Amino acid sequence: PTHPEPVGLSHKLIDKWEISKSSIVLKERIGQGQFGEVYKAVWNKTAIVAVKTLKPSSCDAADFLREAQIMKRLHHPNLIQLYAVCTQSEPFYLVTEYMSKGSLLAYLQSPEGRGLSIQCLVMMAAKIASGMAYLESRRHIHRDLAARNVLVGEQHVVKIADFGLARMIHNREYVAHAGARFPIKWTAPEAANYSRFTIKSDVWSFGILLTEIVTYGRSPYPGMHNAEVLRQVEAGYRMSKPSGCPPELYDLMLECWAADENRRPSFAEIHTRLEEYCEEERPTYRNMGGTNLFAATRGLRSPSSPINPVPAGSGTSANARYFQNIENLQISVSP
């Protein structure tokens, strides 16, 4: 059935972002962060949405509103879409599309995710790269690209989420403020050591994300703690090729992890190479009986297509680990 697009809940209505909080009914909590919670909700009794809330009197209100401003400007089929905001009273709401399968990390670790072929996984990675190539073209950096911050919908659609750390870069780099926290095992050396973030540090993180994808959600650098990872990576250590990982994919990972950030590929190049790999593997994939899966992942909307909320009653319950906390993988950066 065709999904409805209720008036007032579309990203195309640029001057009508604000909606009444009374039109939102919060249902189950599907995530929790330091400054708020994420709920599965119903808008106007017609559409299932996700609602990110900010705890009343939180000192992070400026960042929360900045996230909304960023999301208003970005539209791509592989980025989570903002529908509306509720900022007239606390707690503030960000209303976004709802992804029925939850986080990519939880999905990869689930029985359904573990049943995916490597070809399907690479296609999902290509779509993530497409979303990042769009951010690259818009001069944005994400700063926290990882499987926990990618969401999965029906038919293996993947969308990048959590723009809380995203920044527009007017110069080539963004220097994090003193005390900023970020996940070490996903972070490029120049960002971890000097808080210097560029789109190329996102490329490094994408290489780590690729290892998460091909290992069905294994934590990177298994058996190593943060300090050891920092030390070993600085000395030139790189993770070995995961079991079952195609050599071409591992070569791409190593390029993403080049010590010289200028030698890392662009996301546009990464997207092209992953798409080419998938095209080369399609005959083999068909022989494996995977045509329907593959076709589903290729049938994504174009950026200009309408993005509609899920009708109430049609979605499946999101995994409880929709937004996973990773505080044990973070350190605080000193000035």
Q: Does residue 63 have a known ligand-binding role?
A: no
DSSP 238-303: -PPPPTT--HHHHHHHHHHT-SSGGGSPPHHHHHHHHHHHHHHHHHHHHHTT-HHHHHHHH-PPPT
Residue 48, burial from CB neighbour count under 10 angstroms (0-12, 13-18, 19+)? buried
Active site residue 144: yes
Amino acid at 229: V
Q: Please, what is the Cα angle at 97 between 95 and 98, to 5 degrees?
A: 110
Distance CA 192, CA 187 (A): 6
- Cα 251 to the chain's mean position, in Å? 23
Catalytic site residue from 15, 60, 63, 144? 144
Q: Does residue 308 have a known ligand-binding role?
A: no
Bridge partners (DSSP) of residue 11 are none
Q: Residue 82 in contact with residue 14, Cβ under 8 Å?
A: no
Amino acid at 137: S
Q: Does residue 101 have a known ligand-binding role?
A: no
Distance CA 48, CA 24 (A): 10
Q: Which of 216, 211, 191, 214 is nearest to 202 (CA)?
A: 191
Q: Does residue 15 have a known ligand-binding role?
A: no
Between the CA of residue 105 and those of 102, 173, 180, what are the distances in Å?
8, 28, 24
In the annotated binding site for Mg(2+), the residues are: 149, 162
In the annotated binding site, the residues are: 52, 148-149, 162
Catalytic residue numbers?
A: 144
In the annotated binding site for ATP, the residues are: 52, 148
